[in-house]
Amino acid sequence: MLESALARPQQKWQYADNPDTPALAAAYAFGLVKNHPYRDGNKRIGFLAMVTFLGLNGHELEATDAEVVAEVIALADGSSSEESLADWIRQHRTKHRLRTSLGPRLLVIGLFLLSATTAFAQQRPLVTEDPVTIGDGRVLIEAGFEYQHQLQIPLYGLTGNLVHLPAVGVNLGLGSRAEIQIDAGYRWLDVTDRHEAPLSSILDIPGHSTHSEDDVVIATKLRLVAEHDHRPSIGFRLATKLPNAPNQTGLGTDMTDFSFSVLVGKSLGSTRIVGNLGMGIVGDPTENAVQHDPMLYGVSVAHAVSPRLSVVGEVEGQYLSYTIFPSPGAEDRSAARGGFRYAWRSVRLDAAIVTGLADRSPKVGFTTGVTWIFQAFSTP
């Protein structure tokens, strides 16, 4: 859809009968606004492409904010046509002497917009959830590798180096405000130390390593409030962890846990700031009818160095405030991540270093992965 929108003015330049600059600028706006190549912001992007092209070709647009908004909205809802927009531009432009030909400038604006790939709502290699969803009818698939050095599992008295491969996730966009998320994978633990613990007696680990499929997490994310110039976007996420890893491996608790979080996100120029705050409902595998309710938190920052490259960082974890002793399965944990994301069209590569901030968190770790997003279907 994006390529089609960008090809529209180039086709007009090649084959139409002497198109002028306003006609080509209108073609950019019309293609981007009507083709909906982005999850949101298509009207703004269409307008910016139009005025950027005019500026590159020696023209300025003289119109009030209200006039611009009215014209772009009319184009979006069909009450104004591409030809009408071109006429409106002719009436509201000031012209300067052109310094270069139109052909190269068409290429410049085309490359600029092609590099502005749709932002992904999912935050790999970070875990802090952005309130923005992936978009109606879109599917996001991610796969990664994660290594954690000297991970402690107090419930089973295990310490070791954990490999999570593959760490996979699938997100399905249901409308512009909702998405379903499913996360799973497989884990290996190289055991470096064992000691007595509440459930160490049930372990079935004959050697120095254990492995198991991961617990499955199914979540629903809703965007409640869209981002505005003076307010952040706000969302809500509800997740259920289904027991899939046997507790005899030391990598699961055989408990069904729940969590919910409020998500907040705001873009400040080329920087995106996201915060999460919520609560987990974690069953105690050592006692019947007992649960723990740790606070869940996360703050992340992503800064776009270029249209394709971003540097990212976060601090996230969980905290149980009402007990001075580690609660089985709900121990305090915290980690800091720092890394990068590199996007090309619908694919993104990522990598990050992980550092533990709490006593029982891994000392250090590393994660890398790939994310692919595509349009799968259209909802009625």
pTM of the shown model: 0.72
Residue 14 has pLDDT above 80, yes or no: no
Residue count (the chain):
380
| Within-domain flag for 365 | yes
| pLDDT above 90 (res 326) | no
**CATH number of residue 60's parent domain:** 1.20.120.1870
Question: Do residues 263 and 309 both lie within one domain?
Answer: yes
Same-domain pairing of 92 and 151: no
Any idea what the CATH number is for the domain that residue 328 is in? Answer: 2.40.160.40
Q: What is the pLDDT of residue 336?
A: 97
The yes-or-no verdict on residue 3 having pLDDT over 80 is no
Say whether both 316 and 188 belong to one domain: yes
Any domain includes 236: yes
Tokens describing residue 240:
């259920």
Statement to judge: residues 58 and 193 lie in one domain: no
Q: Is residue 131, in this structure, part of any structural domain at all?
A: no
pLDDT greater than 90 at residue 136: no
pLDDT at 58: 85
| Residue 155 and residue 109 share a domain | no
pLDDT grade for 103, boundaries at 50, 70 and 90: low
117 has a pLDDT exceeding 90: no
- Its domain, for residue 345, covers 138-375
284 part of a folded domain: yes
- Mean pLDDT over 370-374 rounds to 90
Mean of pLDDT over the chain: 85
The reply to whether 122 falls in a domain is: no
Query: Residue 95: CB partners within 8 Å, gap ≥ 6?
Result: 58, 59
Residue 243 lies in a domain: yes
- Among 152-156, 300-304, 367-371, the range with the most confident prediction by mean pLDDT is 367-371
Are the C-beta atoms of residues 109 and 28 closer than 8 Å to each other?
A: yes
- The per-residue pLDDT for 98 is 47
Q: What is the 3-state secondary structure (H, E, C) of the chain?
A: CHHHHHHHHHHHHHHCCCCCHHHHHHHHHHHHHHHCCCCCCHHHHHHHHHHHHHHHCCEEECCCHHHHHHHHHHHHHCCCCHHHHHHHHHHCEEECCCCCCHHHHHHHHHHHHHHCCCCCCCCCCCCCCCCCCCCCCEEEEEEEEEEEEEEEECCCCEEEEEEEEEEEEEEEEECCCEEEEEEEEEEEEEEEEECCCCCHHHCCCCCCEEEEECCEEEEEEEEEECCECCECEEEEEEEEEECCCCHHHCCCCCCCEEEEEEEEEEEECCEEEEEEEEEEEEECCCCCCCEECCEEEEEEEEEECCCCEEEEEEEEEEECCCCCCCCCCCCCEEEEEEEEEEEECCEEEEEEEEEECCCCCCCEEEEEEEEEEEECCCCC
Q: Say if residue 294 is in the same domain as residue 337.
A: yes
Least confident of 22-26, 233-237, 321-325: 321-325
Domain membership flag for residue 132: no
Query: Are 204 and 238 in the same domain?
Result: yes
105 and 63, same structural domain?
yes
- What per-residue confidence (pLDDT) applies to 15? 66
Q: How many domains does the chain have?
A: 2
Please state the rounded mean pLDDT for residues 65-79: 79
pLDDT digits (tens, 9 = 90+) for 145-186: 999 999 999 999 999 999 999 999 999 989 878 999 999 999
Q: 3-17, 185-199, 257-271: which range is least confident on average? A: 3-17
In a shared domain, residues 85 and 146: no
Averaged pLDDT for residues 337-345:
90
pLDDT in tens, 210-244: 999 999 999 999 999 887 767 898 999 999 999 99
CA atoms within 13 A on the CB side of 252: 26
